[in-house]
Amino acid sequence: MKLDIVTIFPDYFAPLDVSLLGKARRTGLLDVRVHDLREWTHDRHRTVDDTPYGGGPGMVMKPEPWGEVLDTVAPPGSDPAPRLVVPTPSGRPFTQAMAAELAAEPWLVFACGRYEGIDSRVVDEARTRMRVDEVSLGDFVLAGGEVAVLVMVEAVGRLLPGVLGNADSVTDDSFAPGPMESLLEGPVYTKPPLWRDRPVPEVLLSGNHGAIARWRRDEALRRTARNRPDLLVRMDPGSLDEHDRRV
Ligand code: SAM
CATH number at residue 193: 1.10.1270.20
C-beta atoms surrounding 17 within 10 Å: 12
| C-alpha to C-alpha distance for 192 and 170, rounded to whole angstroms | 25
In order, the DSSP letters of 134-178 are EEESSSS--S-HHHHHHHHHHHHHTTSTTTSS-GGGGTTSTT-SS
Nearest residue (by CA) to ligand 1, atom 1, is: 116
Residue of 50, 105, 173, 181 marked catalytic: 173
Position 247 scores a pLDDT of 84
193 contact partners, CB below 8 Å, separation of at least 6: 199, 200, 205
Strands 31-36 and 2-7: parallel
Q: Whose CA is nearest to atom 19 of ligand 1?
A: 142
Whether residues 152 and 31 fall in one domain: yes
Same domain, 30 and 139: yes
- Whether residues 131 and 34 share a domain: the answer is yes
Instruction: Say yes or no: 41 and 96 in one domain.
Output: yes
Q: Which of 9, 49, 88 to mutate to test the pocket of ligand 1 (most atoms within 8 A of CB)?
A: 88
165 domain residue, yes or no: no
**Residues 37, 12 share a domain:** yes
Q: How many domains does the chain have?
A: 2
Q: Do residues 137 and 193 share a domain?
A: no
CA distance 217 to 245: 12
- Is 191 inside any structural domain? yes
- Say whether both 61 and 10 belong to one domain: yes
133 and 232 assigned to the same domain: no
Q: Which of 156, 148, 4, 13 is nearest to 87 (CA)?
A: 148
Identify the residues whose C-beta falls under 6 Å from ligand 1.
87-90, 112-114, 116-117, 136-138, 140-145, 148
Same-domain status, 185 and 97: no
Residue 3 among known ligand-binding residues: no
User: What's the half-sphere exposure (Cβ side, CA atoms, 13 Å) at 237?
Assistant: 0
Ligand 1 centre from 146 Cα, in Å? 10
CA neighbor of 225 nearest in space, from 192, 171, 184, 180: 184
Q: Residue 26 is part of a domain; what is its CATH number?
A: 3.40.1280.10
Active site residue 218: no
Query: Which of 157, 181, 208 finishes a domain?
Result: 157
Confirm whether residue 113 is marked as ligand binding. yes
The Å distance, Cα 68 to ligand 1 centre, comes to: 22
| From 114, 158, 216, 217, active-site residue | 158
User: Does residue 62 lie within any of the structural domains?
Assistant: yes
Q: How far apart are CA 10 and CA 203, in angstroms?
A: 49
**pLDDT values of the chain reduced to their tens digit, one per residue, 247 residues:** 999 999 999 999 999 999 999 999 999 999 999 999 999 999 999 999 999 999 999 999 999 999 999 999 999 999 999 999 999 999 999 999 999 999 999 999 999 999 999 999 999 999 999 999 999 999 999 999 999 999 999 999 999 999 998 877 788 899 998 888 899 999 999 999 999 999 999 999 999 999 999 999 999 999 999 999 999 998 888 888 888 888 8
Q: Which of 129, 157, 185 is the last residue of a domain?
A: 157
Query: Per the omega criterion (within 30 degrees of 0), is the bond before 192 cis?
Result: yes
User: Chain-centre distance of CA 221, in angstroms?
Assistant: 24
pLDDT of residue 181: 87
Domain annotation covers residue 197: yes
- Looking at the structure, tell me whether residues 45 and 152 fall in a common domain: yes
pLDDT at 76: 94
**Residues 6 or more apart from 113 whose CB is under 8 A from it?**
61, 86, 87, 88, 144, 145
Q: Of 106, 133, 157, at which residue does a domain stop?
A: 157
Contact 232, 224 (CB under 8 A): yes
Q: Is 96 contained in some domain?
A: yes
Q: How far is the CA of 110 from the centre of ligand 1 (A)?
A: 14
Which residue is catalytic, options 64, 116, 125, 181? 116
Do 146 and 230 lie in one domain? The reply is no
Domain assignment present for residue 18? The answer is: yes
pLDDT at 120: 98
Ligand 1: which atom is nearest the Cα of residue 58? 1
| 135 plus 56 within the same structural domain | yes
| Closest atom of ligand 1 relative to the 145 alpha carbon | 16
Burial of 174 (0-12, 13-18, 19+ CB in 10 A): middle
CA distances from 5 to 49, 121, 156, 167 (A): 18, 19, 14, 26
CB 41 within 8 A of CB 148: no
- Which atom of ligand 1 is found nearest the CA of 118? 14
Range of the domain at 105: 2-157
Report how far ligand 1's centroid is from the alpha carbon of 34 (Å). Answer: 19
* DSSP secondary structure letters along 173-187: STT-SSTTTT-----
